Amino acid sequence: MSRVSIASLTAAWMLVGAAQASPVDDYWSNLKSLCGQAFEGTLMASPDGDMEGDRLIMHVRDCNADQIRIPFVVGDNLSRTWVLARVGGRVMLRHDHRDQYGEPEEITQYGGISPNYGNANAQIFPADDFTLDRMPDNYPNVWVMEVHPGDKFVYYVRRLVTDRYYHVEFDLGEPVEPPPAPWGWED
């Protein structure tokens, strides 16, 4: 019987791990498969009636290896873009808000970094220190983004220990005409 060293076992384990895609890789791939497409959403819950009666569209508009930008259009309001970025094996979410002239709004770039690898269909984003410094009332916000190819995309934000939450679901089975470029973007 031959002896197997710890170093050879570790090397073999690393090769097996390297051959498998991480949940972040799978999630990223699921999102990138939507690039260039737009989808209509349904408001499932809103604490104060925000967005009720407005047409909701997400447009997976700009994708590269490290960043995916998804404008979220509410009625005629083109101010919102979700920015997802790969950071150190995790996913970071930022909310980029622009005024109609393309300038950053006072409250913008809030969000967080996933605390773990999540899974191929869902990532969670607790509010990070940057968000808490700019928006102390947003503690303890947690955002969830789910992507189920061919079925639905879910955007959910919950302010823990309160009754406040938003929940929007987008139908990925039926793409719609993409909206105009968000404020601050050039076509």
Burial 17-44 (b: 16+ CB within 10 A, else e): eeeeeebbebbbebbeebeeebbebebe
DSSP-derived letter for residue 184 is T
Q: Is the CB of residue 185 less than 8 Å from the CB of residue 48? A: no
Q: Where in the sequence is the domain holding 151, given as residue range(s)?
A: 24-176
**CATH code assigned at 77:** 2.40.128
The alpha-helical segments, DSSP class H, found in the chain are 6-19, 23-32, 129-134
* Residue 20: band (very low, low, confident or very high) from pLDDT cuts 50, 70, 90: low
Q: Is the CB of residue 183 less than 8 Å from the CB of residue 101? A: yes
**What confidence score (pLDDT) does residue 45 get?**
95
Domain total in the chain: 1
- Does residue 84 sit within a domain? yes
Coil vs helix vs strand at 68: strand
- Does residue 7 sit within a domain? no
Q: Is the CB of residue 130 less than 8 Å from the CB of residue 104? A: no
Choose the weakest-confidence range: 31-40, 148-157, 158-167.
158-167
Q: Residue 187 above 60 pLDDT?
A: no
- Does residue 8 sit within a domain? no
- Does residue 19 sit within a domain? no
- Does residue 185 sit within a domain? no
In percent, the amount of the chain with pLDDT more than 70 equals 88
Choose the weakest-confidence range: 79-83, 130-134, 177-181.
130-134
β-bridge partners, 40: 57
- Does residue 186 sit within a domain? no
Q: What size, in residues, is the chain?
A: 187
- Does residue 133 sit within a domain? yes
Query: What does the alpha-carbon distance between residue 128 and residue 113 come to, in Å, rounded to a whole number?
Result: 7
- Does residue 14 sit within a domain? no
